[in-house]
Structure 1
Amino acid sequence: MENAATQSAARLAEVNANIARICKPARRDPADITLIAVSKTHPAEKIEPLLEAGHRVFGENRVQEAQEKWPAMREQYAGTQLHLIGQLQSNKADEAVALFDCIHALDRPSLLKALAKAMDKADRRVPCFVQVNIGDEEQKGGCAITQLPEFLGKVRDADIPVAGLMCLPPAGIEPAPFFALLYKLAADNGISGLSMGMSGDYETAIQLGATHVRVGTALFGARGG
């Protein structure tokens, strides 16, 4: 366990150092970048070394997995924040509102309706990133770019706090133009939060304005490793 903890602390330090290095020429404050450690599919014994190293912001893809893993760890490690970064089914809205501190994939009217109802019932407002289908891919979730202003208006009308915009660029293509487009869309709509960038491209994302990066492999190692 000591070796695992040492490895985790070293990976965390390396990613934080990379963030600081990228921020310097971009004239950004590293403290303005939220590093979300993507702990999906990883068991508690792989997550706890990062908690021991002082990291407190984690991302999960599935409501049920988070329900099983996190209550005990959150009780032990005060100040832990949990972000839902995967697609959310409308019928899981109540559980998501109860468990998560931020939701990253608000992408359609049916989910908006379910989340607004769940937040009203729980008397809890959970900030949400609106996911944009930045590459106009049929198989991906996300609000169409042309529908974004209208959808954002509906989110605000529902009294759901808009944390920012989120995107997943098309795989296998240089992500920078898509990150730049999301930055422009955010600016055009008076939004500052940008959830974009993962282990392979978070440095590019920070250069182009990311405020939240979702990093898994660079912190936990290869899946199953």
Structure 2
Amino acid sequence: MSIADKKSEVEQMMIEACKRSNRQIDDVNMIAVTKYASLETTKSVLDHHMLHIGESRWQDAKSKWEQLADRGTWHFIGHLQSNKAKDVVGKFDYIHSLDRISLADAIEKRAAQLDITVNCFVQVNVSGEAAKQGIAPEQCAEFCQSLLAYRHLNICGLMTMAPLDENTENSRDVFRGLRQLRDELNQKAIFNQPIHHLSMGMSNDFQVAIEEGATWVRIGTRLVGKEE
């Protein structure tokens, strides 16, 4: 299948998931994850009007960003080491993996130097898997409260990853848990305005994520395959 065909297939699946959950397709955004894709494939993704690009390591994204940065909106979706924040801040419009104060410090320092505000998702380990990054759900409110001190961070939502499972229904409780956690944070009015976004769902389980309230889904292999 061509990238155009794959895009059409994913978009149709997104529409069907929205219909099942009485949502509007305009409320859900797709990030084309190109972390395993070449420069040429990433260019093709942009040529097909998929303008939100997801990368997880700066060393892999560097050549793509240097040549294609002005053509899309860039999302850093991987684990970000604090000492690498200086490479990412100012280049990526969104960071989906804020999960500790040391990283908040590093993002704030670089953003202040550049006089910009960085859109951040707080990563939550809803599933509790030891191999997953993210803060524990019960620590989320306190962590978010501490982020109010950072003037150059805009907390726009929460992110999580569900366990890999052939039965995507097993992801539903994880995605529902993140939505409920967001709603609880908004009820507590921790931030000056309610946070809206939920970054959750990948190639194998994005339909379930949409049914449970995802506003950003991260689609990689289903769109561009795996070229590494």
User: TM-score, normalised to structure 2's length?
Assistant: 0.90
With 38-47 and 81-90 compared, the bigger mean Cα shift is at 38-47
Q: Any stretches of 5+ residues in structure 1 without a counterpart?
A: 1-5
CA distance in 2, matches of 1:116, 1:92: 13
Please give the alpha-carbon distance, in whole angstroms, between the structure 2 residues aligned to 1:65 and 1:224: 12
8 Å Cα contact 1:35/1:57 also seen in 2:
yes
Cα distance in 1 between the residues matched to 2:93 and 2:23: 25
Contact preservation (8 Å) 1:164, 1:186: yes
Q: C-alpha deviations, 1:47-82, integer Å up to 9, x for none?
A: 22221111100100111222221221234x3xx100
CA–CA distance in structure 1, aligned partners of residues 30 and 154 of structure 2: 20
Pair 1:170-2:159 in alignment = no
2:25 alignment counterpart:
30
Q: Which residue of 1 aligns with 2:190?
A: none
Asked which structure has the greater RCO (Cα within 8 Å, sep 6+), the reply is 2
- Give per-residue Cα distances to partners, 1:22-61, cap 9 Å, x unaligned: 1123221211111000000211111222211111001001
Shift of 1:119: 1.1
User: How well do the aligned residues superpose, as a CA RMSD in angstroms?
Assistant: 1.5
Post-superposition, which runs of at least 4 consecutive aligned residues in structure 1 deviate over 6 A?
none
**Equivalent position of 1:186 in the other structure:** 182
Map residues 66-81 of structure 1 onto 2, 5 A cutoff: 66-75=61-70, 77=71, 80-81=72-73
Deviation at 1:224, TM superposition (A): 2.7
- 1:211 to partner: Cα distance: 0.3
Q: String of CA shifts for 1:110-155, please: whole Å, max 9, x gaps.
A: 1111111111111111100000011222232101111100111122
Question: Contact 2:42–2:64 (CA<8 Å) still a contact in 1?
Answer: no
Check the 8 A contact 2:38/2:227 in 1, yes or no: no
Maintained 8 Å contact 1:106/1:131: yes
Please give the per-residue CA displacement for 1:78-108, whole angstroms capped at 9, x wherever unaligned.
xx10000000010111111121000000001
Equivalent position of 1:146 in the other structure? 138
**Helix, strand or coil: the match of 2:75?**
strand
Q: Secondary structure at the match of 1:162?
A: strand
Alignment of 1:121 with 2:113, yes or no, is yes
CA contact (8 A) 1:104 1:131 kept: yes
Mapped to 1, the partners of 2:214 and 2:123 lie a distance apart of 14
Matched AA of 1:192? H
Partner of 2:191: none
SS at match of 1:164: strand
Alignment-derived partner of residue 88 in structure 2: 96
Match of 1:224 in 2: 227
Q: Aligned with 2:37: secondary structure?
A: coil
| Equivalent position of 2:7 in the other structure | 12
Counterpart in 2 of 1:46?
Answer: 41
Residue aligned with 2:53, SS:
strand
Q: What do residues 138-187 of structure 1 show as CA deviations (whole Å, max 9, x unaligned)? A: 23210111110011112222131112100112233710001000000011
The corresponding residue for 1:207 is 211
Identity, % of aligned positions: 38
Q: Which residue is 1:3 aligned to?
A: none
Distance 2:90 2:110 in 1: 9
Matched residue count: 216
CA distance in 2: counterparts of 1:28 and 1:169, whole angstroms: 22
